[in-house]
Amino acid sequence: MGVRNALVSALATVALMASSGVGAERLDEIRDGGTLKIALYNDFTPYSCVGLERDLTGVDVELANALGEKLGMNVELFGFSAGDSMDNDLQRLMDEERDDSWRDDYFPDRAPDIMMHVPIDPVFAGRNPEYEFTAGYFHEAMAVLYDRERLGELPSVINTPDPFLGERLGVEMYTLSYVFLTNGFDGRLRDTTVNHTSVVEAVESMLKGNVSAVMAPRGELHAALATFPDAEGSFGMSGLDDLFRTDRVRSQWDVGVAMQSGNPGLQSAVEQAMAELIDDGTVADIFDQYGIAWTAARGDASGNGQMPAGDGPAGVTRLGLDRSRVCRATLPAGLY
């Protein structure tokens, strides 16, 4: 189904449950073995994906390795494809004696200790009381990247569909953005929504003049535009914080890590290590290497949560991505 579909499921359902659950403390096991096992998606550009050399690359890959180094542990990465929902994907964190139905060649021994890039959302957490969602390291928000020459200068935050009426809008099919554009405002944007296989493809379509704007999570838009360092034109980016207000969807959310509940030692260690990586600038630097302007999780007290706006990918210089950071599945023809 794809990781974005899993995120849609995780963020769009509104079932609250009482929180409970106890798991075996993992920190001692990890220290004894010396290896922190980290699960992440292998099809989620630009956060974790199979690169041109067929190894895992992406923001979350580099952050996972930095986290292990900060903890003084070796890191073993497990890339996997998203299932029908992120709720089901979390089963990969279950202890073997509790659930071994997910095991395959990519997970040969004990379950991973943590999973990267999981939404920190009260509804999602309430639905999954067996897990802790913590160590927020990024605030994601829906945004629109647009061609200034076609749409003019738009507000930094848009809360009306009016600027897009009659304009062709690019979107990655069957994602949260797709839900927004095809279901919001009584379907007034549905007929002009143009589906693409990826955000990168949608941005390429905008650069060619086939669509006027692209809607997607802000970080994905940043990285997609950075994929085309020689693109000509004037582009703006606006937040969509208040564009859709429903009980079923989120227009912004924090991103962090997940682990089994009942592991206070592991949770404390990961939270402290992540906080140090944020404080020393490592997290922001990793995001910058992928063309993404980092913003702190809203749970962070730094006050750095507002989405930047302006020319280019929100003020990030488009130098082009290093070959080692390009996702194989979304590589535009003729580049790299």
Per-residue confidence (pLDDT) for residue 196, from 0 to 100: 97
pLDDT digits (tens, 9 = 90+) for 256-295: 999 999 999 999 999 999 999 999 999 999 999 998 989 9
| Domain 3-139+253-289 coded CATH 3.40.1010.10 | no
Alpha-carbon torsion angle 175, 178, 183, 186, nearest 10? 160
Superfamily of domain 141-248+308-319: Periplasmic binding protein-like II (3.40.190.10)
Question: In tens digits, what is the pLDDT along the chain, a chain of 336 residues?
Answer: 456 555 544 444 322 222 233 334 888 889 888 899 999 999 999 999 999 888 999 999 999 999 999 999 999 999 999 888 899 999 999 865 444 454 455 444 678 999 999 999 888 899 999 999 999 999 998 999 999 999 999 988 888 889 999 999 999 998 988 988 888 777 889 999 999 999 999 999 999 999 999 999 999 999 998 888 788 888 889 988 655 555 556 788 899 999 999 999 999 999 999 999 999 999 999 999 998 989 999 864 333 333 344 344 444 445 578 888 889 999 887 776
DSSP 308: P
Between the two ends of the chain, the Cα-to-Cα distance in Å is: 28
d(CA 65, CA 84): 27
Per-domain residue ranges of the chain: 3-139+253-289, 141-248+308-319
Which residue reads 């180094």 in tokens? 69
Per-residue confidence (pLDDT) for residue 317, from 0 to 100: 45
Per-residue confidence (pLDDT) for residue 257, from 0 to 100: 98
Nearest CA among 113, 94, 125 for reference residue 13: 125
Per-residue confidence (pLDDT) for residue 220, from 0 to 100: 95
d(CA 142, CA 34): 39
With beta carbons less than 8 A apart as the criterion, state whether 142 and 251 touch: yes
- Could you check whether 3-139+253-289 and 141-248+308-319 share the same CATH topology? yes
d(CA 240, CA 78): 33
Per-residue confidence (pLDDT) for residue 316, from 0 to 100: 41
